[in-house]
Structure 1
Amino acid sequence: MQLLDEDNLTKFIKSVVIGMKPELKSNLDQKDIKKMIELSSREWLNVGQSADYLGVSTTTFRVWRKKHKIPSYTIEGVTRWKKSDLDAFWKRRGVEGYL
């Protein structure tokens, strides 16, 4: 599992935000980035956090992510999953209300 230092997390956040709203590129300052990092830590999960969130082992999560095509986002070699995508997967699997 790759750990993110603050610089890599900042790059990840910038890439995601700029990908969604390119016009924001010139308006991002350190304060905005720190706020996005705080918010992203609640929404964007690494493989271990995603497995924990779903209540399974990392091995099971790795199998599921390929088998069930759980959406992931890889930027600069760092892969993350959105909680909302994990929730949608869980609902599709017929276990709504379990989480």
Structure 2
Amino acid sequence: MSAGNLTPSPTTIALSLPQDQLELLQTIQEQNDKILAAMNASVWLSEEEAADRLKVSVSTLRKWRADGWLSYHKIEKVVLFQAAELDAEVKARGLVQASLSPLMKTATKRSRA
């Protein structure tokens, strides 16, 4: 370190480990990679974001939630939806298609008139 440069230079240390410990470290690294990938895949949505994703109003989303049709997580007063859960539940229940069918019938009747 020079008088003008107070930052220490990095030091590299080489370690020699037994093969079984190296394999254990590799296994831990692989598990950590899987956990990080899963965490990155977990997208959390606010009520507004979830409603926008489903193309419904926030009040419709709240009704579905109150009726027990959607899983949600509440942290203090904030309601959050996990995107993967939301998508799976909507697909399983056919919620969006069911909510759009009356609109389609109404639009068809109006266009014929």
State the TM-score, normalized to the length of structure 2: 0.43
Point out which structure has higher relative CO (alpha carbons under 8 A, 6+ apart): 1
State the TM-score, normalized to the length of structure 1: 0.49
